[in-house]
Amino acid sequence: MDGVRVDGVERVFRGRRGDEVVALRGMDLRAAQGEIVAVVGASGCGKSTLLELICGLQEPDAGSVQADPAVLMPQRDLLLPWASALDNAALALRVRGVPAAAARAQARPWFERFGLAGFEHARPRALSGGMRQRVAFVRTLLAGKPVLALDEPFAALDALTRQEMQAWLSHALIAEPRTVVLVTHDVEEAVVLGDRVVVMSPRPGRAVAELDVALPRPRHRTDAAVVALRERALEALGAPA
C-alpha cells in the first residue's frame, strides 16, 4: 500500500433515539505517495470523519479504507500548556518511549529549520498562533508517519497569519515530502496547497469533483490560474462564484 485509498466508504452515526446521520456515502479518495490532496466541502460534510477513517480512529460501515500509517493534525494545536515548545514537539517521540534527552535532540534541528530557533524553552502561551501551529507541525512530523492528515490546520488563525502559514506549509512540504490529505473549507487554501483538489457534496458527503492543480509553486492567491481554479472549485461546491 502506497498512500491512501478510500473506496465507496459509508459511515453512519446512530443517535440515541435511533435516528441516523449518514456522514459519508460512496466516498472515494486516492492519494498517491507524496501527493498533497486537498479536500474541500461545506461544514458538516464529513471531512473530519474522512480523516479519522484514514487515521484508523474509526471504521467504515461499508466500503474500504487502505492507508499507510497516518498521523492527525487537528485544527487546534493542542499543545500541552505545561511543557516547553521543544518538549511539546518531542511528545510524539516521548509517548513512544524515547528518553527525554534523545527526543529533544531529535526535535531541536526542526526548530532551526522552521524558524522556531530561540523559542525551544518558551511555554505555548508565550508563542504566537502561527508559531504554535508550527510546533504542532514539528510534532506531527516527528511521529514518523508517511501520511499526514491535516484537519483545517489553519482555520483558527487570523487571516494574515493563515496566509503566512499556507506559504510556509507549502515550502515545508517541498522540503519534507509526505502524503498529505488536507481537509479545509477554504477553497483558496485548497488550490494554493494541493496537487489535487477534491470537492465534497454536503452531507452525506462524497466526492463530486476533482481538479488537478498543475501549477508551479509557490502559488499566490492572486495568480490568475489560482483564481480560475478557485472559481471552478466553488462552482463544483454549488456556491455562487
**Shortest distance (Å) from residue 57 CB to other proteins:** 6
C-beta closer to other proteins: residue 34 or 74: 74
CA–CA distance, 172 with 81 (Å, rounded to integer):
25
C-beta closer to other proteins: residue 122 or 234: 122
CA–CA distance, 18 with 192 (Å, rounded to integer):
42
C-beta closer to other proteins: residue 94 or 206: 94
Q: Strands of the chain (E only): list them.
A: 4-14, 20-31, 36-40, 62-67, 70-73, 147-151, 179-184, 196-200, 207-212
Residue numbers at the binding site for other proteins (CB under 8 A): 52, 55-57, 70-74, 76-83, 91-92, 94-97, 112-119, 122-133, 136, 143, 145, 149, 156-158, 164, 168, 171-172, 175
Nearest to 131 by CA among 93, 164, 100: 164
C-beta closer to other proteins: residue 18 or 81: 81
103 Cβ contact list (under 8 Å, min separation 6): 90, 93, 94
Q: What DSSP letter does each residue of 207-221 carry, written as one string?
A: EEEEEE----SS--T
**Shortest distance (Å) from residue 216 CB to other proteins:** 16
**Shortest distance (Å) from residue 105 CB to other proteins:** 17
Which phi-psi region, left, alpha or beta, contains residue 186 (left: φ > 0; alpha: ψ -120 to 50)? beta
C-beta closer to other proteins: residue 79 or 190: 79
CA–CA distance, 110 with 138 (Å, rounded to integer):
7
**Shortest distance (Å) from residue 86 CB to other proteins:** 14
**Shortest distance (Å) from residue 50 CB to other proteins:** 14
